[in-house]
Amino acid sequence: MMNIDWGNLGFGYMKTDFRFVSNYKDGKWDDGELITDDSVVINESACVLQYAQTCFEGLKAYRTKDNKVVCFRPDLNAKRMADSAARLEMPVFPEGKFIEAVKKVVKANIDWVPPFGSGASLYIRPYMFGTNPVMGVKPAIEYQFRIFVSPVGPYFKGGMKPIILRVPDFDRAAPRGTGHVKAGLNYAMSLHAIIEAHNQGYNENIYLDSATRTKVEETGGANIIFVTKDNEIVTPKSSTILPSITRRSLMYVAENILGLKAVEREIYKEELSDFKECALCGTAAVLSPVGKIVDHGKEYAFPSGMEKCGEITQKLYDTLTGIQKGEIEPPKGWIFEI
Ligand code: PLP
Ligand code: COI
């Protein structure tokens, strides 16, 4: 086994042994291969460097109690990446090949999958980018698809300790823009807002809908769920947020396993004071409790407080992670064995 302090890992990059690489040229993808070189060498005028033609995905591999290695719903990441590619005028990496590539790269790095019970997992990062030189604004004709993996711990330091969000003066996604796909450009424009949030002592930004700035949408890297005083799960409905696989799974878990009502609808900022719990959800964030949202001095403090995770959030967390770690019977097709 590796000499890694699995229990104290943060969410960071660590170089592992192998990455999967496939190139697109003359209208087709090659077979792809595993390589050890972690550097990418591309032309100085590559479309990705000039015009940010890139998209990515994020999923995780987990070690189960009986020491199997599994992934959670990789078919949905393959599908979402196809949607992202199409929106950015990039060739789709075929969904079947995507899943095969995930399997190959995890297998090749199997010793990097953290042990069961460590709280860590193996983050898998598929991505693709336009590689040939361009000058005028147009899509590339050559692309590289890669997947690397890295063992990770919790996205927010402190794991299940509640975090504080602020409402920023910046928007994340325009109506009819790219907020619903996983384009690198969505994250580039969030960097300034996140630095500002950190400088002001907040963990993350909660973005509003940019058309009216009256509704809450999501954070820079996760969707959001709320729990009403009647134990209903509510999540924002919007065409400009990323369709989180974790959120869709949690809504299913709430309704079909926990017997709670789960509703996707528009959520107005003023409603924040009606909820008793709030949490961020995503592959990296898993389910991170939110204690407070601050909007330019106005504080929305959730009754669950700043000390511990709310009761319903904890139930959702335990059920979802129980499924991912093989302790709870998964809904059909959710667990993919490596
Ligand atoms: N929203 C944004 C902006 C994200 O970057 C992510 C991360 O992938 C999510 C939501 C959560 O999506 P998922 O649950 O599919 O990881
Ligand atoms: C993920 O949850 O996989 C993400 O991509 C979020 C963030 C690290 C960008």
Give the model confidence (pLDDT) of 322-331 as tens digits. Answer: 999 999 999 9
Ligand 2 pocket mutation pick from 155, 205, 250 by most atoms within 8 angstroms of CB: 155
Nearest atom (ligand 2) to Cα of 56: 5
The rounded Å distance from CA 331 to ligand 2 centre is 24
Domains observed in the chain: 6-152 (3.30.470.10), 163-324 (3.20.10.10)
pLDDT of residue 157: 82
Distance CA 14, CA 36 (A): 14
Q: Which atom of ligand 1 is nearest to the CA of 57?
A: 8
Task: Tell me which residue has its CA closest to atom 9 in ligand 2.
Answer: 221
- What is the distance between the alpha carbons of residues 51 and 41, in angstroms, rounded to a whole number? 17
Ligand 1 pocket (Cβ < 6 Å) reads 58, 218, 221-223, 242, 244-247, 282-283
* Amino acid identity at 26: D
Instruction: Calculate what percentage of the chain has a pLDDT beyond 70.
Output: 100
Structure tokens at 112: 């990097």
pLDDT value at residue 1: 62
Name the residue with the closest Cα to ligand 1, atom 12.
Answer: 244
Three state DSSP letters for 97-157? HHHHHHHHHHHHCHHHCCCCCCCCEEEEEEEEEECCECCCCCCCCCEEEEEEEEEECCCCC
Distances (CA, A) of 138 to 42, 44, 50, 86, 227: 17, 16, 11, 14, 45
Ligand 1 center to 55 CA (angstroms): 13
**To test the ligand 2 pocket, which listed residue (102, 283, 287) has its Cβ within 8 A of the most ligand atoms?**
283
Q: How far is the CA of 283 from the centre of ligand 2 (A)?
A: 6
CA within 13 Å, CB half, 214: 4
Q: For residue 46, what are its two tokens? A: 């590559």
**Average pLDDT, integer, range 312-330:** 95
Residue nearest to atom 4 of ligand 1 (CA): 221
- H or E element in which residue 323 lies: helix 311-324
Give CA–CA dist 245/258, Å, rounded: 18
pLDDT confidence of residue 206: 98
What pLDDT digit, counting tens, does each position of 94-137 carry? Answer: 999 999 999 999 999 999 999 999 999 999 999 999 999 999 99
First to last CA, the chain: 18
Tokens in use for 131? Answer: 């590689």
To the question of pTM greater than 0.85 for the whole model, the response is yes
Cβ(289)–Cβ(313) under 8 Å? yes
Half-sphere exposure of 115 (CA within 13 A, CB side): 10
Question: What does the pLDDT read at residue 325?
Answer: 92
Q: What distance in angstroms lies between residue 168's CA and the mean position of ligand 1's atoms?
A: 19
Beta carbons within 8 Å of 270's beta carbon, 6+ residues apart: none
Convert the pLDDT of each residue in 175-203 to its tens digit.
999 999 999 999 999 999 999 999 999 99
Averaged confidence pLDDT in the chain: 97
How far apart are the CA of 12 and the centre of ligand 2, in A?
11
